[in-house]
Amino acid sequence: QALAHVEAYIDFSEDDNVEEDVLSRVAEAVRALEQEVGAHLQDGRRGELLRAGVRAVIAGPPNVGKSSLLNLLGERDGDGAVPG
């Protein structure tokens, strides 16, 4: 959401279509996110998962949506998925 606000500010701020305090709200959201991530990093198990990541295997026949599932779980775009 913060990224969307910044992009809107960049794209439309000269047109006065963006609320004046959008950057201050973005800064507040980023600070809150920074604190939340910091708290997770200090929590031993959660922090380890964030630092090291998770290893997983998604197996199945071709063209059944394995890459799509992985992209959904990782909240990523489908760009760059290599079949195989």
Q: pTM score, two decimals? A: 0.45
Q: Which residue type occupies 40?
A: H
User: What's the distance, Cα to Cα, between the start and end of the chain in Å?
Assistant: 34
Residue among 16, 22, 21 nearest 4 (CA) = 22
Q: How confident is the model over 38-76, as pLDDT tens digits?
A: 887 777 776 677 778 777 788 888 888 888 888 887 766
Q: What confidence category does residue 79 fall into, taking pLDDT thresholds of 50, 70 and 90?
A: low
Question: Where do the structural domains in the chain lie, given as residue ranges?
Answer: 2-53, 54-84
Amino acid 47: pLDDT: 66
